[in-house]
A and B are shown apart, each in its own frame.
Chain A
Amino acid sequence: MIDLRSNENPYKPLDKVTNRVYKDMDNMNKYLSAKELDMLKEEASKYCGTEKKRIVFGPGTDFLIERVLIKNSQNKNLYVLNPCFYSSITTALDLKMGLKRIQIVPPNFNIIWDDLNIEKDIILIDYPNNPTGKYLVEPSQIQKLLEKDNIVIIDEAGYEFGKKTMINLVDKYKNLMVIRSLDKSFGLAGLRVGYCICGDELLKVFGNSISINRASWSASLEALKYREYSDECLLKLKGERKYVADKLKELDFKVYESKANYILIESNIPQLALELKGRGILIEDLSYSWLRNHYRISIGKREDNKILIDELNKIIETV
């Protein structure tokens, strides 16, 4: 199976990273110490250009989101965009929070903020947005929400692809949290490494507990040291994204311009995802929870992308 559904990085991390993890596994019997974690925070703070004390590491972004929800669920609604891929939203329902999914629709996927009187609630927004690959909010809008006593969580898991960020607002707003990940652009999805940069109030949610493991820690530390390698991967992926988008356009698919490692497409071919699955390729079918005939395709390596295009060609010939 070629997996173009999971938004993973198709390139493996550097051997240096893998070897470092092997080496550190010698200490598998030892808990990660605060001092060791601090080394990682140091590296991350250089990378993000933010204070070390604001950084919290955790096993994946959903873990970090859930912590915020658990500590702040009382009488609050959680606002997300629809479609929504966070498993943490079910936690919100378990916590008896109101879940408000704001439908986004083509062509511009605009959010009518003026109709939403959000106060003292929680807003979780991905930046860029999954699955559109677009930046759907302006920092000025986020500031308005922050000033109305809302907790705002900006998910920048796809930061490295478009390089737009709201980290610069964290010092000013105690109720803002920006989430990042080493899963995607650093290729550590199997280790699930997420981190967040927190405003003063949200920092208290996490306390001093250490919630990542030694393998994640050593891989992250090494990957952040050699971040030019991540840049190389991103450059290759951007090239591949253009290749896939151009080919899809030639095949008459509606392709939305993306700033991420996936693209949103629209196609009238009946049951496209199922058809591709039968041919050994997985893509994300958005028809069930969102708009019919819309699919998200993660960008893979050239050989996989080529197979995708070849199979699509064959499908079109038979329709």
Chain B
Amino acid sequence: MKIGLLVNPIAGMGGNVGLKGTDGEMYNKALELGAEPITPVRIREVLNLITRQDIKFLVPQGNMGEDYIKDFNFDYKIIGKTNTKTTDEDTKKLARQILDEGADVLIFVGGDGTARNILDAVGTKIPLVAVPSGVKMFSSVFTFSPRAAAEMINNMGDDFIEKEVLDIDEEAFRENRLEAKYYGTVIVPNLNHLLQGKKSPSNIKHSVKEEKQKVAQYVLDNMTEDSVYILGPGTTVREITDMLNVDKTLLGIDAVFKGELIGRDINEKDMLQIIDEYQKVKIIITPIGGNGFIFGRGSKQISSKILKSVGKENTIIVSTIDKVGSLEYLRIDSGDYEVDKSYGGLIDVIIGYNDMLLLEVKF
């Protein structure tokens, strides 16, 4: 079986430094802020777990493929090359070349932006295995983790299903508006349990607003003076800061101590500093509707390093029943398997005053 492999080396870099993507000009900004590449780690995790032997990889030269595959014992062929600094056009061109070489499947590593490029180049001509590594990952095409991607490659047969490629309007996103757009359909192996599912926007209804207030009140009544609270994005979390009369970003990460804002739109570095300075740090987060991710999608600033020092016991999950009740599981894909594991098992999600839903965290 011929498998094309295409890595977007800059995907996901905006996450830890608090940017919402690396499309276009944002990449340079990410570099300025000291962002480090994410995808090499992700693809190595996948390659490490592929057990089937009947594979010949088709990879581009350099940091879009060869750099990673050469460390493993796979049979592979170079199909094209790029400059060190890669662009959308490189992704499209190389995907087409992989197709022309007769690939049966294409593995790609990236986010929604990468998925759109692949969609343009390949469409539904061959099935895809999408390794999640972006900041945004709204598309239902992605597996829920690199491990799931490896499992998908090991177990795929001849049965494929259609999945959507979605992306958000990045300009709107940076201005606190969340607008997902449908771009097209691709095909993936029919192994639904390994896919992340698509994000569904939360329903703003009157009763839901009331429920959010009850959740926020409960959290407030249980806040302690000696802890810093790192607050994730979303309207449920913002209800808490609204009650505190604190101006929170809707999509960024903020920090509150003794009822006062001590950090607004903070990144990984800022959080590490807070953890250093204060004895007790807690994270308040809401799962992503539809796929249930608590960490590893959306707010990538809360990195595995942060999670490791904060711990499951100091993680407060809030939601409303209409959003979280429809989830089979919560998910975590922080990039560090050991950290993910430490979050595994049942966890309380606050859905009202004194009211919790207990869900299993899968990793």
List residues of A whose CB falls within 8 A of some B CB.
Answer: 82-83, 93, 96-103, 105-106, 112, 115-116, 287-292
* A82 CB → nearest B CB, Å: 6
Q: Are A99 and B359 in contact (CB under 8 A)?
A: no
Q: List 10 A-B contacts (CB under 8 A).
A: A93-B354, A93-B355, A100-B348, A101-B351, A101-B358, A105-B328, A105-B329, A116-B346, A289-B322, A290-B326
Q: Are A93 and B352 in contact (CB under 8 A)?
A: yes
Give the residue name and chain of the A residue nearest to B214 (CB).
Answer: A93
- Knowing A96-B354, A98-B354, the reply to whether A291 touches B326 (Cβ < 8 A) is yes
- In the bound complex, CA of A106 to CA of B357 (Å): 16
Q: Are B353 and A93 in contact (CB under 8 A)?
A: yes
Q: Are A82 and B353 in contact (CB under 8 A)?
A: no
* A111 CB → nearest B CB, Å: 9
Return the CB mask of B129-141 against A: 1 if under 8 Å, else 0: 0000000000000
Q: Are B353 and A101 in contact (CB under 8 A)?
A: no
Residues of B within 8 A of A115 (CB): 345-346, 360
Return the CB mask of B320-363 against A: 1 if under 8 Å, else 0: 01100111110000000000000001101001111111111000
Residues of B within 8 A of A290 (CB): 325-326
* B358 CB → nearest A CB, Å: 5
Residues of B within 8 A of A287 (CB): 326
Q: Are A112 and B355 in contact (CB under 8 A)?
A: no
Q: Are A82 and B329 in contact (CB under 8 A)?
A: no
Main secondary structure of the interface of A (DSSP, over half): loop
* B19 CB → nearest A CB, Å: 32
Q: Are A289 and B359 in contact (CB under 8 A)?
A: no
Interface size class of B (residues with CB under 8 A): 20 to 34
Q: Are B360 and A112 in contact (CB under 8 A)?
A: yes
Residues of B within 8 A of A289 (CB): 321-322, 325
Residues of A within 8 A of B329 (CB): 105
List residues of B whose CB falls within 8 A of some A CB.
Answer: 321-322, 325-329, 345-346, 348, 351-360
Give the residue name and chain of the A residue nearest to B327 (CB).
Answer: A103
- In the bound complex, CA of A288 to CA of B322 (Å): 5
Q: Are B360 and A103 in contact (CB under 8 A)?
A: yes
- In the bound complex, CA of A116 to CA of B348 (Å): 11
Q: Are A103 and B358 in contact (CB under 8 A)?
A: yes
- In the bound complex, CA of A98 to CA of B351 (Å): 11
Q: Are B321 and A99 in contact (CB under 8 A)?
A: no
Q: Are A103 and B355 in contact (CB under 8 A)?
A: no
* B152 CB → nearest A CB, Å: 20
- Knowing A82-B325, A105-B328, A291-B326, the reply to whether A98 touches B356 (Cβ < 8 A) is yes
- In the bound complex, CA of A288 to CA of B321 (Å): 8
Q: Are A97 and B326 in contact (CB under 8 A)?
A: no
- In the bound complex, CA of A62 to CA of B352 (Å): 21
Give the residue name and chain of the A residue nearest to B347 (CB).
Answer: A115
Which has the most chain B C-beta neighbours within 10 Å: A82, A101, A115, A288?
A101
Residues of A within 8 A of B359 (CB): 103
Q: Are A83 and B348 in contact (CB under 8 A)?
A: no
- Knowing A82-B357, A101-B357, A115-B345, the reply to whether A292 touches B328 (Cβ < 8 A) is no
- In the bound complex, CA of A116 to CA of B345 (Å): 10
Residues of B within 8 A of A82 (CB): 325, 357-358
